[in-house]
A and B are shown apart, each in its own frame.
Chain A
């Protein structure tokens, strides 16, 4: 599934929703489309265990029934884990993302750093600042990765990362690893990383002065009985 681009994943779900007979709402006009939005497009080549979308429906079965209906029409490699009623005033999922969890390892033969790379990664992370040049549509600017990586720890053969994913600073693991390799005087080879997105979070803190209060999107909304 990692080779299917975001637009095609959307098309896949539009058709899946029809196959499952979910009573989704449509826009009006000559070419009506389903009212659906994805939380965060997943890049080609990335695995994921936590993607979210919100849809508008005219009527709904229970959460458990909807999950069963949808999973009955899924292909191998995609499954629906939960179906919840969002509070009436919830921002759409897309706009509310604050952070993402990733798990990163190397594809076979691509770990140029060698054994003990996780310790070296932690040393890299423990610097006071990690300035990197970020290319945007408007030009280049420097961002401090240190501020945007909220957590990291070794896990098995790889690293677990929690990074900023808000609309202004959507950090991709590859950017972090490019900087990590550069700090060792190395260049990250093409397709070196096996990246799995684990989950997406919204931030429930009241103001920017308070510490982050990350809540998984899966914990928002209520189960429909």
Chain B
């Protein structure tokens, strides 16, 4: 190999900077399959940002899909932007280096659009970092004509209100459908000499596009919303989510980027379906991505071949909300094993319902001694599992675990939530009891036939009520309540006969509480985000960078009561900040589910019996299976 580094293109950062920061490869671009265009030869430059560190952002499939889609268009050049890590952040501020896109290494401020994908609430301060480092006004109202249009997308924009003041536009729903229309409108506006606000207002008429500045919000005395009304006649009252109905013939990145450094998702990802039939009442994804749409298995096989060939990755994984519900799963998984195992490709299985099929494929692709079984009962008792509509029963778990133990497995991971609506002490203790029963099932196997001790790891996260779920009305626990509950579980685990085989751990409570505020917040919350950022909050989802005390100061400074957003149970007639979005799933369905939850009544899944949630309005997917 000769000539390594002989042709270095120009980098935004000097060698002296790159050599003294952590992982300089985060900032230099030039990865395999990076798209190279001449920025001077396109009409529209689109900077696509994931507001977290490179290794996280590069692992996100959605961004790869849109990157590929935009760059298929000759008149658009889409480039990537990630949050600079704390070390480079400091240097860029000290030396006044504007944030740049990886491909051209040119400043983001010179682009037409800055698109930000918003995957979790705790990245909000990173959004402000990206704007500020890019030298774009943080508040949309302060932006001048020469600044990029800032547009947000991703699951968090199903309640965009806490960050509405920082964005010119939001795209509600799946990105494949309306970006072409938006880009064409932008080009037309530019040609006509329209100004920024003209474009934003016109864009508000495109399906799925929400322009926060075009709406007026009034509040009642108690702080809840009185009304949200469009300021102009041509701006719609409701924004309907966008959805791809034919997921087998839409765009998919057959040549995904291959980073130089190891990233979180260092493998080919096959998205097998969108949506979920299950209807767990706490799950936002299960509601907002309705209806379920499966990808054709032959299309997926073709993608797998192309993507492995084009990336050289040594691993492939499947992505969906509930892979066991994909109707062609055995065919797909067996194909991947037969076709690629011999080529040294590792098949990384998603967590599957434990049955004969999954145990068979798991034993083919994993070392049974090292791998673990995963169950997500989410709640410790059957009563509470009925409340949350999680179909998994104790019988099913013990049966599945038993089968797996007989086949040689001895590690089990269990996922629970604490703080769910109607939760009692017995429900919490149920986490320990269930773990104990699984351990007991293991020790039923004769000593000479089992594989040493079993290891059960039970983890609990804390429940955050999310918009567009049946629990959107629910009260959320305080930090103190969360910690007290986790201690009770820990204590109960310690009392169990097989406590030495059970490990219990729980998430951080303070960050969960903040997530709760940001998830169901309104526009008033934006001042807190801004204040927290100005106090130095950044990378809040990274425990080493999270400063709860600064956030608490920010709430106090802004005169915002955190409990108004978390603890308060909403009345059924309250107007929510996100009510202007139409996800297809009706508020009356969600309310029906909220009532059934309190009565501990379960709801069958979409394939068993349609509940008329409203998602059939999209005219496809599971709602119309067997109906054509």
* A81 proximal to B (CB < 8 A): yes
Range of interface residues on A (Cβ < 8 Å): 35 or more
Given the known interface contacts A73-B32, A81-B2, the answer about A3 and B25 at a Cβ–Cβ threshold of 8 Å is yes
Instruction: Given A18-B314, A73-B32, A76-B9, verify A51-B1 contact (CB < 8 Å).
Output: yes
CB-CB under 8 A from A44, the residues of chain B are: 19, 24
A15→B314 contact, CB < 8 A? yes
Beyond A15-B311, A44-B19, whether A76 also contacts B7 by CB under 8 A is yes
Contact with A along B300-328 (1 / 0, CB 8 A): 00000000111111100000000000000
* Neighbour of A49 across the interface among B3, B8, B30, CB < 8 A: B3
Question: Is B15 interfacial (CB 8 A cutoff)?
Answer: yes
Instruction: State in angstroms the CA–CA spacing of A21 and B312 once bound together.
Output: 9
Q: For chain B, give the interface size range.
A: 35 or more
* A47 contacts chain B at the CB level, 8 A cutoff: yes
A133 at the interface (CB under 8 A from B): no
Q: Report if B359 contacts A (CB, 8 A).
A: no
C-alpha gap A190/B119 in the complex (Å): 40
Interface residues of A, dominant DSSP: loop
Q: Contact: B312 with A15, CB < 8 Å?
A: yes
Within residues 27 to 57 of chain A, which ones have a CB less than 8 A from any CB in chain B?
Answer: 30-34, 42, 44-45, 47-53
Cα-based distance from A15 to B315 in the complex (angstroms): 11
Q: Which residue of B lies closest to A19 (CB)?
A: B312
> B24 is contacted by which of A3, A53, A79 (Cβ under 8 Å)?
A3
Chain A neighbourhood of B28, CB < 8 A: 3
CB distance from A92 to the nearest CB of B (A): 16
Which one, B162-170, B256-264, B497-505, is touching chain A? B256-264
Residues in B whose Cβ lies below 8 Å from that of A52: 1
Is A4 interfacial (CB 8 A cutoff)?
Answer: yes
Q: Are B15 and A50 within 8 A (Cβ)?
A: no
Given contacts A31-B346, A32-B344, A191-B15, contact A15 B6 (CB under 8 A): no
| B25: A residues at CB distance < 8 A | 3-5, 8
Q: Check A50 against B312 for contact (C-beta < 8 Å).
A: no
Any chain A CB within 8 A of the CB of B572? Answer: no
Tell me, in angstroms, the Cα distance from A76 to B18 when the chains sit together: 19
List the B side residues contacting A75 at CB < 8 Å: 30-32, 34
Q: Does A224 contact B (CB under 8 A)?
A: no
* B367 interface hit (Cβ, 8 Å): yes
Within 8 A of A (CB), among B237-287: 258, 260-262
A118 CB, min distance to chain B CBs, angstroms: 22
In Å, the complex CA distance between A209 and B8 comes to: 43
| A49 close to B4 (CB less than 8 A) | yes
A152 at the interface (CB under 8 A from B): no
Q: With A75-B31, A78-B3 given, can you name 20 additional A-B contacts, CB distance below 8 Å?
A: A1-B30, A8-B25, A8-B261, A12-B32, A14-B314, A15-B32, A15-B258, A15-B314, A18-B308, A18-B313, A19-B310, A21-B309, A34-B344, A42-B4, A45-B15, A50-B2, A75-B34, A107-B15, A107-B16, A191-B15
- Residues of A participating in the B interface, judged by any CB pair closer than 8 Å: 1-5, 8, 11-12, 14-19, 21, 26, 30-34, 42, 44-45, 47-53, 73, 75-81, 107, 190-191, 196
| 14 CB < 8 A contacts A-B | A8-B261, A11-B262, A12-B260, A15-B32, A18-B313, A19-B311, A19-B312, A26-B344, A30-B366, A51-B1, A79-B2, A81-B3, A190-B16, A191-B20
Top 6 A-B pairs ranked by shortest CB distance? Answer: A15-B312, A18-B312, A3-B24, A19-B312, A81-B2, A47-B5
